[in-house]
Structure 1
Amino acid sequence: MKTQISGTDLLELGFPEGKIIGVALKINSKRNGFTREEMIANYKKVLATPENYIDDVVFSKLAVALIDKANEKPEDFIALNPNPNSFSAYGIEQIEEGALKQMNVAMQLPVTVAGALMPDAHQGYGLPIGGVLATKNAIIPYGVGVDIGCRMALSVYDIPEEFYFENEMKFKRELVAHTKFGAGHGFHGQYKANHAVLDSDGFNTTAFIRNLKDKAWSQLGTSGGGNHFVEFGIIEFAQDDAVLNIPKGKYVGLLTHSGSRGFGATIAGHYTKMAKEVCKLPDVAKNLAYLDMNSQLGQEYWMAMNLAGDYASACHEIIHNKMQQALGAQVLAKVENHHNFAWKEIWNGEEVMVHRKGATPAAKGVMGIIPGSMTAPGFLVRGKGEENAINSASHGAGRQMSRTQAIKTITQNQMQTILKDHGVTLIGAGLDEAPMAYKDINQVMAAQTDLVDVVAKFTPKMVRMADDGSRED
C-alpha cells in the first residue's frame, strides 16, 4: 500500500512546478496525524481555495505560496527571447528530448550569445549535461554544475603492458591503499593531505568560503561518488606522438575522474540560491538564473568557482603523485582537462563566458580525455577548434539509462559477466554505473570527428569507484 506522497503526485493534482511543490512536500513530511488519503484531500481543497487556508495552522504557508503564484505577472520576471539563435548539436539522433528542450530554453536567455550540444548530452538541472553555452557578461551557477571543476587526469607510465598482467595484485593493493571514495568521505588527523591550494588567498575572499576550508582540507586527495573513478588501464599509441614525445606502443596508465567534492557542491548550492533571488526568470528557466559579472555576487562566484577548480586539480595531483611513488614509475606524459566550468573566451571578436557543463574544451591543439565506461575504451584526444561547437567536445559516453532505470533493469549477474568478458577487475560501484547504462562510446566518437582527433586509446583494466551508493557526480 502506497503511503508516501511524491512531487509527481502533487503535479497530477494540478500543483504548479517549482518551489510550491517543495512547500507542500515539507508539510507532508510532518504529516500532522493525517493519513495519505487525508493529506491528498486537504491538498485538493487548498489548491481549489487557498484563501480559505491563509490562517490554517498546517497549510498556511502553502496557501500563501499559491496566492503569490496566482498574482505573478509577466513583468515580474526577466523576459525570455522569443526568437533565439539556433544551436549546433552533434549526434542529435542519440540525444534525448529532455536535453534538447533544456538547450532550447537556455538559448532564450537574454544574455545568451551561442550554444552547442555534445553527442553525450542528457538531461540535467538548468543547462543539460553535455551543453555548452556562451553568454555576454553573465555567469550561470547551474550552467557550471554542482561538481565544479570536475576533471579527467591521465598519467602515462614507463611501464610496459606485460608488467601489468604479471603484477595485477600489486596494482590492486596500491589502488586500494591510495584512494578514498564517496560523498562526505575524507581523511582525518595525520592522514590529511597537504597542498599549496590550501594557502590560496581565495579562501579569504568571504566568510562563507573561509568556513568551508576545513571540509576542503579533509577531502583533499579523495574522489567523489557516482561516476567518479580511479583506474589502471592500457593506453595504446598507434603511432609516435611528437607533441607528447611518446613512441608508438602500449603503456600502463592511470586515469582519474572526480571534482571539487563537498566544497564545490556547497559553493554551487549557495550561489545558485543567490542567483535565483536576484535573477527572476520564468519557471521554465529558473535553474538558469545568472549573475552579472559586474556585480559583487558575480565576482564572488567567479573567484569561488576558480578556487574550486584549483582544488579539484589538487585532488587529482595528490592521487597521481601517491600512485607514482607507490609504483616507482616514471611519468612519460600527464594530461588533464576539466568540465563543469566557465571560461572567459573570445567568440566572434568579443569576450564571452563559455559554460561547459559536462563538455571537454577542444580548442585547436588542446589535449583532452574522453572516457567510455568501466569496460569501454576511453580516448586521448586533441582538439580541432571547431567554432560551431564553441571549441568543445563530449566529456564521455553519456548515460542512456537513468540511475533508477539501471538499478531496476540490470542484474548483478549481467554486470559480472560483462566485466569478465572484458577482463576488468572492479572494486566498488553499483548497478547504476554498469556499462550498459551508458551510450556506445564508439558512436559518440564517430559523431564528433569534426571536433577532435584521437591520439591514443585507453582500455580500462582495474577500476575503483564508490561502493556506498553516493550520488556525487
Structure 2
Amino acid sequence: MEKILDPQWRLPVKSWCSSIEDSAMSQIANLAGHPALFKHIAIMPDCHSGYGMPIGGVIASESYVVPNAVGVDIGCGMGAVETDLNLSDIQDNRTIRSLLDAVKASVPVGEGHAHREEKGWEGFEAFLESIPDSPGWFSPAVWSLAKRNLGTLGGGNHFIELQHDENNRIWLMLHSGSRNLGYKIAEFYNNLAREKETRPDDLAYLSADSPGGKAYIRDMVFAMAYAAENRSRMMTAFKESLLDLFPGAAFIREINIHHNFAAREKHFGKDVWIHRKGATSAAGGEMGIIPGSMGTASYIVRGLGNPESFMSCSHGAGRIMSRTKACRELSVDECNAAMGDIVFDRWRMVGKGNRKNRHMLDLGESPLAYKNIDDVIDAQRDLVEPVVKLKPLGVIKG
C-alpha cells in the first residue's frame, strides 16, 4: 500500500517502497519540485538510485517529455514463455547446461558483444523512410552496430533464464532492451533538452509539441520496437535450442512487456505523458512480469489498474547494493551459496571499463545485491495480483 512522503514538496510523492536510500530520496525530492510534472510522483517498491530519476519511478506530464525519465535503455523489457515440458523432463544439470550452451552459441552475451554480420529487419528501412532527415544521433557506425546488436543480450542485469513454476511446468524468460541504439537516442535528446529548456540538469525536458519533442517521441517509439524485436529474436533462439533437446515440446503462452518508456495515457481526467523508468504498466487485467535476481523467484502478475500508481508496478526486485559495493563487500563463497544448485557461469572479472574494480570479481548481480522479491511483491498487492511464481533452474547473465 502506498504512503505519502514529505508533504512540503510541490507535488506529493506516493511510495510503495519500504525504505529508500538517501541518493534516491534526493532524486525523488528533485522530481517533486519539477515544474513540468502533473498530479504526484509514484515510487515503486523496487526503487533505487538511477541517473537523474530513481529506477522504479513513475511521473506524468501534460505537455512535456523528459528523456532521462525514460532512461538510456529505451524499451528494455521482459519476455516469458510457458512450455508444456515438466520439471521431470529435465534429467539433470547437464541437460540444463547443454541448453544454456546452445543458446549462447547463437546469442552473443555481454556488453560489447555483437553479431559479426549485420542483421536485417524491416523496421530499419521503415524508420529511415518515415523521416525527412537523419536525426542527430544517427551515423553509419551507430546504424551498423544497431544491426549487429539485433538478437543480442547485452550486459549488466540482462539475462536469459530457464525456470519452473509451482506445478513444475517449464518456462523460458529473458530480459533485454535496445542496446547501444537506445543509449544514443537518449543521450542526444537529453543534451538537446538541456540546450533548449531552462533546466540544465539531468531532468531537462522538451515540449511534446516542439520539433525536438516530436522527434524524441518518434525515435523512442522506434527504439521500443527495436527492443521488442531484439527480445523476440533471442526468444526464438531459446525456443529452437529447447526443441533441439526436446523435439516434441510445445509453447503454450507468451508474455512480452517493456519498461523504460513514455506513453500518452489518460489519468485523473487528463491526457498525459506517463514516464515509467524501471516500472511496468499494470492496467486492469494486463499481464506482466516481475523478475527477481538471478538466484531467486520471478512472478507472472496481473495488473489491478490502481490509479494512484498511474496503473504501474515494479519492474523487478530492485537493488540494495551498488555494483561497486557488491564487488567490494560480498564474498564468492556467500554468493555461490545464494545461488544454490542453479546452473550459471560463475563470476567473471569486472570489465576493463571499470578501472577502480577491474581486478575484482564481478559480484554485482549476486542475489545478495538485490531486495527480497517476495517482499517487493507483497508491497504492491494493491497494484498487481501474483499469478505464477517461477524459480530459476539455469541462468545466462549479460
TM range (shorter): 0.7 to 0.9
Aligned counterparts of 1:264 and 1:357: Cα–Cα separation in 2: 13
For 1:360-439, list aligned pairs within 5 A.
Answer: 360-419=280-339, 421=340, 423-427=341-345, 430-439=362-371
* 1:331–1:198 distance in 2 versus 1, CA, 3 Å: farther
Distance 2:101 2:72 in 1: 32
Q: 1:259 and 2:177 equivalent?
A: yes
Contact 1:381/1:452, CA 8 A, preserved across alignment:
yes
Is structure 2 residue 71 aligned with structure 1 residue 145? Answer: yes
Is 1:221 the counterpart of 2:155? The answer is no
Amino acid at match of 1:227: N
Corresponding residue for 1:10?
Answer: none
**1:326, 1:434 → 2: CA distance?**
26
Instruction: Give 3-state SS (helix, strand or coil) of 1:267's partner.
Output: helix
Using the size of structure 2 for normalisation, the TM-score is 0.88
Aligned residue in 1 for 2:233: 318
**CA separation of 1:86 and 1:456: change in aligned 2, threshold 3 A:** same
**Any idea what the Cα deviations from partners look like across 1:372-418, whole Å, max 9, x if unmatched?**
11111000000000111110111111000011110001112222222
Q: Deviations over 1:121-163 (max 9, x none)?
A: 0111111111000011110000000111110100111211111
- Distance in 1 (CA, whole Å) between partners of 2:88 and 2:102 is 18
Which of 433, 444, 457 is the equivalent residue of 2:389?
457
Partner of 1:119: 45
Matched residue SS, 1:425? coil
1:244: which partner in 2? Answer: none
Aligned to 1:301: 216
Of the three residues 108, 111, 121, the one matched with 1:180 is: 108
| Cα RMSD, aligned residues only | 1.7
Deviates more, 1:340-349 or 1:320-329: 320-329
- Kept in 2, the 8 Å contact 1:95–1:119? The answer is no
> For residue 98 of structure 1, what is the aligned residue in structure 2?
23
* Larger mean Cα displacement after TM superposition, 205-214 or 323-332: 205-214
Whether the aligned pair in 1 keeps the contact of 2:107 and 2:237 (CA below 8 Å) is no
Distance 1:360 1:83 in 2: 25
Task: In structure 2, list runs of 5 or more residues that go unmatched.
Answer: 1-7, 244-248, 348-361
Partner of 1:159: 85
> CA 1:178–1:156 in 2, change beyond 3 Å: closer, same or farther?
farther
Structure 1 347/202 Cα, relative in aligned 2: closer, same or farther at 3 Å?
farther
> What percent of counterpart residues are identical?
35
Matches within 5 A, 1:23-42: none
Deviation at 1:179, TM superposition (A): 2.1
Match of 2:193 among 275, 286, 295: 275
Query: How big is the shift at 1:207?
Result: 1.6
Change beyond 3 A, Cα 1:137–1:404? same
**Residue-by-residue CA offset, 1:67-112 (whole Å, 9 max, x unaligned):** xxxxxxxxxxxxxxx9512021003x32223222212211222221
CA distance in 2, matches of 1:437, 1:261: 23
The separation in 2 between residues aligned to 1:358 and 1:331, in whole angstroms, is 28
The TM-score with structure 1 as length reference comes to 0.74
The structure where helix makes up a greater share of residues is 1
Report deviation, 1:180.
1.3
Shift of 1:280: 2.1
Q: Which amino acid aligns with 1:132?
A: V
| CA 1:446–1:203: 2 relative to 1, 3 Å | farther
Flag the structure with larger Rg: 1
Tell me the CA shift for residue 340 of structure 1: 0.7
CA contact (8 A) 2:75 2:223 kept: yes
Q: Is the 8 A contact 1:428 1:464 kept in 2?
A: no
Distance in structure 2 (CA, Å) of the matches to 1:222 and 1:202: 22
* CA–CA separation in structure 1 for the residues paired with 2:19 and 2:111: 30
**How many residue pairs end up in the alignment?**
365
Corresponding residue SS for 1:272: helix
Q: Which amino acid aligns with 1:278?
A: K
Q: Provide closer, same or farther for how the CA distance between residues 229 and 217 of structure 1 changes in structure 2, counting only shifts above 3 A.
A: same
The residue aligned with 1:52 is none
Q: Give 2:87's aligned amino acid.
A: E
Of 335, 339, 356, which residue of structure 1 is paired with 2:259?
Answer: 339
Bigger relative contact order (CA 8 A; separation at least 6): 2
Q: Deviations over 1:2-40 (max 9, x none)?
A: xxxxxxxxxxxxxxxxxxxxxxxxxxxxxxxxxxxxxxx
Assess if the C-alpha contact under 8 Å between 1:384 and 1:453 holds in 2.
Answer: yes
